[in-house]
């Protein structure tokens, strides 16, 4: 395996309704559709589309949603032998009500399968076969076990923290677990909310200094239209601008970024700044489609980068 992921897996159930009901009101469902999602699987699917041999570890229910989640990974060429099914369990999913005018609201159903996955599900043999281990640290005990197993085998480790500190705590991940996870992490990519909570500031440079002794090798920050930045213990490594595209839907762009970064940095051995530019291109292409799984394949990414010309001159240490 090139990359083994352990993290969030979900299904979005889209219910198109005639109107969003007011309090005590009702709506008529016009159409129902399903979109696979989850930050963890979105990132792994992007890596797989770019040619990486990937596997994923998570637990879903043995319900219809669980079937579709596993099948969606199979269709992308992601190995699912390590996926667990909870007997009688309910898979994590969101229910998205969308009115004809585009208005919507979302209901999250955590189910009872995802967070119940035990630590021993982090198969050390599978993880040890990989060059890269990826996680969003959910569920916490299994993800932490996976990070430890990966480092014991010399694999690169990537921790993509895509929810805030309060939400992580609500999901059973304590601040002590977060600190321990960072000790085993080579690339730490927190979302804005998580970064601000961990550092006490939204300023990237000041916050990076606060995290300098957290144990990570590279701190990777994505800032939407403002591009992305990478830091190490000594300061800024690289700053890469975002590509200007006509966005249709930004859902999943960050997941696409980290999936592409792993491929470019750890599998193709590109310098950090070049890996960031490649990741930015994939994220930009994801924004031009609809849904979190609009991420590109390698040919589309290469064509996009070729159309944008060479990277601008930059000051980067590696």
Q: Give the pLDDT confidence of 159-174 residue by residue, as tens digits.
A: 999 999 999 999 999 9
Domain positions in the chain are 3-7+41-63+76-82+119-307
Closest-CA residue to 60 (of 32, 34, 38, 42): 38
Closest by Cα among 12, 109, 107, 118 to 58:
118
Residue 316 pLDDT > 60? no
- Lowest mean per-residue pLDDT among 43-47, 57-61, 179-183, 309-313: 309-313
User: What are the angstrom distances between the C-alpha of 16 and each of 8, 33, 100, 311?
Assistant: 25, 8, 7, 42
pLDDT in tens, 65-122: 999 999 999 999 999 999 999 999 999 998 888 888 778 788 889 999 999 999 999 9
**Tens digit of each residue's pLDDT (9 = 90 or more) over 256-295:** 999 999 999 999 999 999 999 999 999 999 998 877 788 9
Q: Is the pLDDT of residue 315 over 70?
A: no
Exposure letters 236-256 (e unless 16+ CB within 10 A, then b): bbbbbebbeeeeeeebbbbbb
Residues forming a β-bridge with 85: 60
Condensed to tens digits (0 to 9), the pLDDT of residues 147-157 reads 999 999 999 99
Q: How confident is the model at residue 214 (pLDDT cuts 50, 70, 90)?
A: low
CATH tag, 3-7+41-63+76-82+119-307 = 3.40.1190.20
pLDDT given for residue 291 in this prediction: 75
Contact in structure between 228 and 93 (CB atoms under 8 Å): no
Residues in CB range of 102: below 8 A, 6 or more apart: none
**DSSP code at position 311:** P
Instruction: Yes or no: say if 257 and 123 are a contact pair by the CB < 8 Å rule.
Output: no
For 194, how many CA atoms within 13 A lie in the half-sphere containing its CB?
24
Neighbours of 46 (CB within 10 A): 33
157 within 8 A of 132, measured Cβ to Cβ: yes
Comparing CA positions, the residue from 94, 110, 101 lying closest to residue 14 is: 94
Helix and strand numbers (H, E) in the chain are 11, 14
pLDDT band at 5 (very low <50, low <70, confident <90, very high): very high
């Amino acid at each position: 395996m090139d990359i083994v992921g352990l993290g969030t897996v979900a299904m979005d159930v889209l219910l198109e309704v005639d109107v969003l009901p007011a309090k005590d009101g009702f709506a008529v469902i016009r159409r129902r559709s399903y979109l696979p999602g989850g930050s963890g699987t979105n990132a792994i699917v992007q890596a797989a589309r770019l040619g990486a041999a990937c596997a994923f570890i998570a637990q879903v229910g043995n319900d219809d949603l669980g079937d579709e989640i596993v099948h969606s990974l199979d269709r992308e060429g992601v190995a699912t032998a390590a996926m667990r099914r909870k007997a009688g369990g309910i898979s994590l999913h969101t229910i998205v009500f969308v009115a004809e005018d585009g208005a919507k609201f979302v209901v999250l159903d955590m189910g009872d399968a995802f967070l119940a996955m035990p630590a021993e599900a982090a198969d050390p043999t599978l993880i040890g076969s990989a060059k890269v281990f990826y996680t969003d640290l959910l569920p916490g005990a299994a993800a932490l076990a996976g990070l430890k197993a990966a480092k014991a085998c010399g694999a690169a480790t990537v921790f993509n923290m895509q929810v805030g500190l309060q939400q992580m705590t609500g999901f059973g991940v304590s601040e002590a677990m977060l600190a321990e996870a960072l000790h085993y992490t080579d690339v730490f990519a927190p979302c804005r909310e998580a970064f601000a909570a961990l550092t006490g500031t939204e300023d990237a440079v000041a916050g990076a200094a606060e995290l300098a002794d957290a144990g990570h090798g590279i701190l990777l920050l994505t800032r939407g239209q403002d591009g992305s930045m990478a830091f190490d213990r000594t300061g800024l490594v690289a700053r890469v601008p975002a590509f200007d595209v006509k966005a249709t839907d930004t859902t999943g762009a960050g997941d696409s970024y980290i999936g592409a970064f792993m491929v470019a940095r750890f599998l193709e051995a590109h310098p950090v700044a070049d890996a960031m530019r490649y990741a930015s291109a994939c994220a930009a292409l994801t924004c031009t489609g609809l849904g979190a799984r609009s991420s590109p394949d390698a040919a589309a990414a290469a064509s996009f980068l070729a159309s944008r010309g060479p990277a601008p001159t930059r000051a980067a240490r590696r």
